[in-house]
Amino acid sequence: MKRISLTPPDRINATIQLPSSKSICNRALIINALSKGKNLPENLSDCDDTQVMIHALKEMPSTIDIMAAGTAMRFLSAYLSVTEGCHIITGTQRMQQRPIKILVDALRTLGADIEYIGQEGYPPLKINGHTLRGDSISLPGNVSSQYISALLMVGPALEKGLRLTLTGEIISRPYIDLTLELMKQFGASARWTTENELTVEPCPYHPHIYTVESDWSAASYWYEIAALSQEATVILPRLSENSFQGDAKVAVLFEDLGVKTTYEKDCVILSKKEQRVSHMEYNFINQPDLAQTFVVTCAMAGIPFRFSGLQSLKIKETDRMAALIAEMKKLGYRITESDGSTLSWNGERCEADKCPVIDTYEDHRMAMAFAPASVRLGKLSINHPEVVSKSYPRYWEDLSTAGFSIKEE
């Protein structure tokens, strides 16, 4: 599909089976492989990112192509470093433009044998795996939490374990905590020893039957739909109030935007509430993947905002800050960037495109965050909708189930 047009229903009343958490799936797969588990974790996602991980770990080909899966690139680079054998790991052209030097340098400090095949500091990589004997490294706390998680997960396989010190401000701490929790469930001894130091003992993982919960990041788009709809009730199974997913914060944040969350035994129920804020400010340092959802929601609802902590958006599937500014302008909203980490909207409007078409920049979250804008616009076209396969392959089918009319153009 090169382009689709969406027309929303008058009201939303739906039960949606979300994909399982990509963040949990990819961590559980690496940890399960390190534990020598014979059975894969249950309820794995069918998204691209998870499927390339499954294929790589099952087949272990000499050249591993993870396509556009940034998480897989980082996690597998660490895994291959501690696993016997020689492999090349590569990806799409965009993936070969995404920096990985910080992780490679850290792994080399621990004794890893990694070479750059192309440009220094970027994939593809040639990795000769073996037992690593280093045990102590230091990283800036504001690097991608996926680098930190990749290192932590291989910690039990290191001859002396791992002591990891994070300097300065620590971003995305919930993702680090999620990694530690999964490691513990597979028998590892891993913990925060101080506010900025983590310790992993050289204690091997044990195979463990594990079932992955639904994805709170995917839930955010249904919160957005509920917030922008006049009437909405959405039931989302397999989500819990006590989730370790950092993006579970979406439930609290959308309270300010008029969406109530009711927690049942094995699901959450979204419904409309009357009160909402007139202005929103939030630091997304711990939930960067929610930023696009909230930028679009607030603008379409007429709520000025200032969202900080967005520095990591520039090195995602695309420069998400630039993409948001460009696409919101098509809808008639002037979003501004400051300090390379903040997006703001003061209510200023500009002339919108007569028939706006949203570009997705090979970024799944651009497609999913902008689709709900059709609720307020009445109709919206989106280019290359297939990008949702990266994390939520059934997204368009689920919108159809909820009453959206979706046509190929």
Identify whether 65 is a catalytic site residue: no
What does DSSP say about strands 197-200 and 12-15: parallel, antiparallel, or unpaired?
A: unpaired
CB 83 within 8 A of CB 93: no
Pick the closest to residue 49 from 29, 67, 31 (CA basis). 67
Task: Provide CB contacts within 8 A for 248, sequence distance 6+.
Answer: 216, 239, 241
| C-alpha separations of 215 from 80, 242, 366 in Å | 27, 13, 17
Active-site option among 48, 135, 289, 363 = 289
Tokens representing residue 78 in the block: 């660490």
**Residue 309 buriedness (CB in 10 A; 0-12 / 13-18 / 19+):** buried
CB hemisphere CA count around 45 (13 angstroms): 31
The DSSP result for 301-322, as a single string, is: TT--EEEE--GGGGGSSS-HHH
CB hemisphere CA count around 190 (13 angstroms): 31
CB hemisphere CA count around 325 (13 angstroms): 14
Q: CA 362 to CA 68: how far, in whole Å?
A: 9
Tokens representing residue 147 in the block: 């680098």
The DSSP code for 42 is B
| HEC assignment per residue over 205-239 | CCCCCCECCECHHHHHHHHHHHHHCCCEEEEEECC
| C-alpha separations of 24 from 135, 192, 391, 394 in Å | 26, 20, 12, 19
CB 223 within 8 A of CB 250: yes
Pick the closest to residue 73 from 125, 34, 32 (CA basis). 125
> Does the CA dihedral 287-230-344-260 come out positive or negative?
negative
- Catalytic residue ranges: 289
